[in-house]
Amino acid sequence: MSFSQCLRCRECHREYPLTANHVCEFCFGPLEVSYDYEAIAKQISRKRIEQGPVSLWRYSDFLPCHAENAIDIGVGFTPLIRAKNLGRALGLNNLYLKNDTVNPTWSFKDRVVAVAAARARELGFDTLACASTGNLANSVSAHAAAAGMKAVVFIPEDLETGKVVGSSIYAPTLVKVRGNYDAVNRLCAEIAGSYNWAFVNVNVRPYYSEGSKTLGFEVAEQLGWRAPDHCVVPIASGSLFVKIKKGFDELAKTGLIDEPKTRMSGAQATGCSPVATAWQEGTTNFRPQRPNTIAKSLAIGNPADGYYALVQLQATGGACGSVSDPEIVDGIKLLAETEGLFAETAGGVTVATVKQLTAQGKIDPDELVVAFITGAGFKTVEAVIDSLAEPLHVDATLDSFERAYGALNHGESELVVI
Amino acid sequence: MPARRVKFTFPESLIKEPIIYLLGKEFKVITNVRMADVDEHTGWVVLELEGDHEEIDRSIAWAQARGVRVDPAGGDVVEG
């Protein structure tokens, strides 16, 4: 069951009913779901969770919708991998990767959309909508298809074919918007306020963002019911970064783990780094930026939760790094070559930032570190395709193969006579 | 009357300029400030602009031409 009580303004703490509303009428601050933690604590136990479904719905007591309304396409409870090879390469002795590339539409966005879609259905909406450069559009389209809801998905006109197909295969109404990033943003903000749709990251954002907490729940459970020492999380809107920590805090608040002392560090691409820039300048006042990076899934120049991410960085003793596009590509390749995991550009940002922060001494080699890999690499092949080794081109003869393979191995033949 | 919630972000060079006052004088737009944080180097103001759509558009274009960055108040709508 759901123990959600009301929506509460994060700034002035005014309370609102649990409707499709995301902004405080008085101060325009963001609204967040508030829960009855005492009631949750009475009901919840590690055993109750462990006996639940092998998906994010095992944590439904902490979510703002009823599990029976879930559109369950198998989201969540993704692997937590001990990354010994990558750890060795980076100088970390206890590095783990939370592999969220294996969700149904291959990114962590399935978590937030699963919760938003369930709540949208409870609120009586028949249409899910979003504006996206890829992952979110894919997930909204898939969930709407599974739920028998309509989907209206807005994308920039110049989006790569792979990302377009990743949405259109689910048959949403796909709208390509002409114009630059700011123009698309402005139009979609206007549309979100004009139609009676569940625009997942606008009017149902308070519910949507709660889905990200489940990453924190899962990591703690998979570590044997404890919070890690240090998390490195990619920052786009900042919501994921804030909500993972909220997940640890809620487990502690309800007696399931000890009080977390987790340091939360953020990862951004230099080409869109409003949070990292503000962090380096020592302020919580970030300046919006115009994104220019290959990490398009992190390209949010005016992050809705940027301020809260900066507050959390300060409060937990974390750090925020930013990495260049070449470093992102190197990060993707390093992850693939050491752990056999092909991540999209956001994963490259995370790995490169772990490397950067470790080199700067901001991550201790013996800390239990969890890096969050949030999307699969096949979504962004164009980011790496020019930097990969050419295949060997051979004729269909042993001699031709021998010459090519021998040249690759500096003239030394490995031919054995069987 | 139509209203739009926006965030104005000011560069240091505009901190001393009465942009919001001038906007209200130049255009038939009611400005209603709800949140703000301004220091000597930078600042942002979240406000509601109320008026005809075209007049709001013109007032925003005017502010942008003076160097103010204007974004939807709740952050970017387009996500990854």
Q: Which of A182, A203, A268 to mutate to test the interface with B (most CBs of B within 10 A)?
A: A182
Predicted local distance difference test score (pLDDT) of residue A418: 62
Q: Name which of A185, A187, A189, A242 is nearest A213 in CA terms.
A: A242
CB contact under 8 A, A132 and B35: no
- In angstroms, the CA A2 to CA A64 distance is 6
B66 pLDDT above the threshold of 70: yes
The residue assigned the tokens 């060997």 is: A392
Residues facing A272 on adjacent strands? A269
- In angstroms, the CA A23 to CA A9 distance is 7
| Interface pTM, i.e. ipTM | 0.84
Please list every residue in chain A whose beta carbon sits closer than 8 Å to the beta carbon of residue B5. Answer: 23, 28
Instruction: List the single residue in A with minimal CA-CA distance to B39.
Output: A285
Task: State the nearest Cα–Cα gap between B19 and chain A, in angstroms.
Answer: 18
Phi, psi of A322 (to 5 degrees): -140, 145
For residue A332, give the 3-state DSSP assignment. Answer: helix
CB contact under 8 A, B74 and A303: no
Pairing outcome for strands B43-50 and B3-10: antiparallel
A15-49 pLDDT per residue, tens: 999 999 999 999 999 999 999 999 999 999 999 99
Predicted local distance difference test score (pLDDT) of residue B72: 86
Predicted local distance difference test score (pLDDT) of residue A410: 67
If phi > 0 it is left, if psi is from -120 to 50 it is alpha, else beta; for residue A244 that is: alpha
Task: State the nearest Cα–Cα gap between A83 and chain B, in angstroms.
Answer: 26
Higher per-residue pLDDT: B1 or A298: A298
CB contact under 8 A, B42 and A109: no
Amino acid in position A157: E
A292-350 pLDDT per residue, tens: 999 999 999 999 999 999 999 999 999 999 999 999 999 999 999 999 999 999 999 99
Using CB atoms and an 8 Å cut-off, which of residues 143-182 of chain A contact chain B? Answer: 154, 156, 181-182
CB-based contact (8 Å) between A9 and chain B? Answer: no
Task: State the nearest Cα–Cα gap between A288 and chain B, in angstroms.
Answer: 8
CB contact under 8 A, B78 and A133: yes
Pairing outcome for strands A150-156 and A127-132: parallel
Low-confidence stretches of chain A (pLDDT beneath 50)? none
Alpha helices in A16-173 (DSSP H): 37-43, 46-50, 84-90, 109-122, 135-147, 161-168
- Secondary-structure breakdown of chain A: helix, strand, coil percentages, each rounded to the nearest 5: 45, 15, 40
Task: State the nearest Cα–Cα gap between B49 and chain A, in angstroms.
Answer: 13
Nearest to A189 among B35, B37, B77 (CB): B77
CB contact under 8 A, A202 and B74: yes
Tokens of A352: 């490169």
